[in-house]
Amino acid sequence: MIVHSTTNYLANIALAKEKIAKADAIVVGAGAGYSTAAGLVYDGEEFQKNFGDFIAKYHFPNLYYGGFGPFENDQEMWAYWSRFIYLERYKPGPLFLYQDLLRLLQGKNYFVLTTNVDHCFQKAGFAKERLFYMQGDYGLFQCSVPCHQKTYDNEKTVMAMLKKQKSMQVPLELIPKCPICGKPMAMNLRSDNSFVEDEGWHEAEERYEMFLAENYLDKKIVYLEVGVGDNTPAIIKYPFYRLTAKNPQATYIYANIERSNPPLEIEKQSIVLLGNLAETIALLNR
């Protein structure tokens, strides 16, 4: 039985290192907690500094909450969202934790499934063909209807909005419209059934499914879950449970600051690393 109590943290680190070293393949499942641990936060000093005017007007408690704000018009909404997108997607930020994870995976057969939409994996040097951003990307626009299944890079428009906005308003001509139907554009973020799964999304999904098909049944495979909470367990957590249960040679490793016990069905195949993610990944790299 693989123990997963906090009192055995260092013993569990040693077990995890051994499993990772001997693995034929590693599937990483990364959630929002990983970016938070890396320094990307939705409140605090950075939020106060960049959104003081919106906080004064609407009393937003954090960046995420403000995204659903009761804006007066589209010009004000895009003034907020352009700052949001810049901070979370384009502004150079701390990537050490992502780079440490890449170092842990260097030379190994791996694939990453993530619900994060901040592009940190690619900015840290992960190969695009080994990534599946299942929930979208802050760097993409889509038709809000949507009238077609295509996405559009938004960096140029976002930067123009940042430069030209005044009094919490972007110029009317910068508000993005669908080039096909003329309706408003939206962020390519999965929130309802209007989410666009474009060609790149489907190609990434196919690569992920092929990776699993080649590795998950008869090989030593590690399912490494980092920073995944319980908000959307059906995307990473539950599939990792099921895949581990199907393969007696598989190991499920849970790394997070918050406790989440794997089911009894895979208890003997599980390792829980409960603690600071930066410390955990650093120890796994030693």
Give the model confidence (pLDDT) of 85-104 as tens digits. 999 999 987 689 999 999 99
- The answer for 69, left when phi > 0, alpha when psi is -120 to 50, beta otherwise, is beta
Read off the CATH number of the domain in which 266 is found.
3.40.50.1220
Distance CA 253, CA 160 (A): 43
Same domain, 158 and 175: yes
Q: Is 183 domain-assigned?
A: yes
Letter for the amino acid at 131? L
157, 189, 221: which is the final residue of a domain? 189
Examine the pLDDT at 60 and tell me if it is beyond 50: yes
Radius of gyration, CA atoms only, the chain: 20
Same domain, 130 and 145: no
Letter for the amino acid at 118? D
Q: Are 273 and 255 in contact (CB under 8 A)?
A: yes
Quick: pLDDT tens for 65-84.
Answer: 999 989 999 999 999 999 99
Quick: pLDDT tens for 206-264.
Answer: 999 999 998 777 899 999 999 998 888 999 999 999 999 999 999 999 999 988 889 99
Please state whether the predicted TM-score (pTM) of the whole model is above 0.75: yes
What percentage of the chain carries pLDDT values higher than 70? 97
Examine the pLDDT at 155 and tell me if it is beyond 60: yes
Same domain, 128 and 224: yes
Distance CA 251, CA 21 (A): 12
Band (pLDDT 50/70/90 cuts) for residue 146 is very high
**What is the mean pLDDT of the segment spanning 147-151?**
98
The domain total for the chain is 2
Q: Is 113 domain-assigned?
A: yes
Q: Is 223 domain-assigned?
A: yes
Pairing of strands 110-114, 25-30: parallel
Same domain, 112 and 248: yes
Same domain, 264 and 223: yes
Please tell me which residue, 64 or 20, carries the higher pLDDT value: 20
Query: Going edge to edge, which strands form the sheet with 251-256?
Result: 131-133, 110-114, 25-30, 221-226, 251-256, 270-274
pLDDT of residue 40: 85
Q: Which helix (H) or strand (E) holds 37?
A: helix 32-38
Same domain, 210 and 82: no
The widest CA-to-CA distance across the chain, in whole angstroms, is: 62
Give every CB contact of residue 51 below 8 A, 6+ residues apart in sequence: 60, 63, 66, 80, 83
pLDDT of residue 93: 74
Same domain, 268 and 228: yes
Distance CA 14, CA 12 (A): 5
Same domain, 149 and 242: no
Please tell me which residue, 153 or 94, carries the higher pLDDT value: 153
What percentage of the chain carries pLDDT values higher than 90? 87
Which residue range is the domain that position 165 belongs to? 45-92+140-189
Same domain, 59 and 99: no
Band (pLDDT 50/70/90 cuts) for residue 6 is low
**What is the mean pLDDT of the segment spanning 44-72?**
94
